[in-house]
Amino acid sequence: MKGVLDGLKVIDASQGAVGPWAGSLLGQMGADVIKLEAPGGDFIRAVMPEKRGLSTTYISMNSNKRGVILDLKQPGDRAQVHELARQADVLIENFRPGVADRIGIGYAELSRLNPRLIYASASGFGPRGPMVALGATDPHVQAFSGSCSVNGEPGGLRQRWRWYGHFDCNTAIHIVQSVLAALFERERTGKGQPLEITMLESAFDLQRVRMAEHLAGSTPTPLGSATTYLVPDQAFATQDRPVAVSVTSPRQWRAFCRAIGQPELADDPRFARNPDRVRNRQALIPILERAFKARPLQYWLEQLKKVHVPCAMFTSFDEYRWNVHYLDNGMLRMHDTVWGKLCLCDPPWDFSLTPAFVKPAAQPGEHTQEIVSGHWPAPSDSPERKPA
């Protein structure tokens, strides 16, 4: 299959999740992506759990790539990387600031070899300031960026997102956006350029609404599952399992009140408009909690869907991987790989003429010989890939 980025050559020299997921997304759109690792390998290989000897995190973060292992400490291998950089359109790295220059793949050196190179550098805290020398991880950026200040139960300890990688993957999306924009600019000028993307600034982007609230004089505080700006918009306990409910418009508010059997709430001056409900949250939520507790989850899903009020059950992976909605839309697919059957998410975009696609990750270093000896042949020119 030829994707929208067919013919684009990308060197992914990053580790962990931030850079690798960006490389994977470019690969899903058709770019030819090399996963470049040192002999010691990407540190994420050691993250549990494993699938037949390789970290499942590594496998999931490195789809749609060919694996190359070269030792930048060795002059011969470094020369090979320089040759690959001459042919590349994009290079992604997430070393601490200064490390890429020290090991011979900094922008100044590679741009002399290839002035058209788009060089994307991702870091946790940026190139200056007292935090520069620190390695960044997703949970530490969550804490330092202020995100945790609005998470958790009222009056309780601040909480991080439980899913490790949320801020990593958000930063990866920013890398992809900046790379695509720089490629567009290169079409006009013929020149590449260095890009700097930080986890911290990407984390700020996730918090634009919270920052605006703060600057408007309404400092957000932890509200459990609820949001600061919309009521009701949270989880409610039912007789058996919780339900997530959002009421986003005056029409939905009236329909919601009818569905829970309390139509009189719709015109109650304390709750008639969303600003009223936000101000009187403490009076309204206990009323709604009692109503939801009286019936089981399935009852509420059926009643709220009838009147077009957004609602959902909380699902686990084992539940939604077989959900007919996901399967009907092709959002999840099973793949046969060297690690056995893997259930992978389809790309988040659908191009009608040049479809995006997911290919399972390669074994680390699997394509070193064919890439180095063949001067980066296209995948169609490469020998059939065999399990390592």
Q: How many helices (H) and strands (E) does the chain have?
A: 16, 13
State how far the Cα of 248 lies from the Cα of 27, in Å rounded to an integer: 37
Distance, CA of 20 to CA of 175 (rounded, Å): 10
**DSSP summary character for residue 225:** T
Distance CA 22, CA 170 (A): 9
Q: Is 168 a catalytic residue?
A: yes
Question: From CA 382, how far away is CA 367, in angstroms rounded?
Answer: 9
Q: Which amino acid does the sequence have at 250?
A: P
Sort strands 90-93 and 65-69 into parallel, antiparallel or unpaired: unpaired
**Alpha-carbon gap, residue 277 to 232, rounded angstroms:** 8
Q: Which of 6, 168, 205, 268 is catalytic?
A: 168
Closest Cα to residue 359, out of 69, 66, 68?
66
Q: In what order do the strands lie in the sheet with 65-69?
A: 65-69, 32-37, 9-12, 90-93, 118-123, 193-198
Say if CB 24 and CB 67 are below 8 A apart: no
* Residue whose token pair is 């788009």: 118
What 3-state DSSP class applies to 4? coil
Angstrom distance (rounded) from CA 175 to CA 198: 9
Q: Which residues of 347-367 are buried (b: 16+ CB within 10 A; e: fewer)?
A: beeeeeeebbbbbbbbbbbbb
Q: HSE (CB half, 13 Å, CA atoms) of 240?
A: 9
Rounded to a whole number of angstroms, the CA Rg of the chain reads 25
Q: Could you tell me the two tokens for 317?
A: 């992976």
Which residues are bridge partners to 91 per DSSP? 11, 119
Catalytic sites, residue numbers: 168
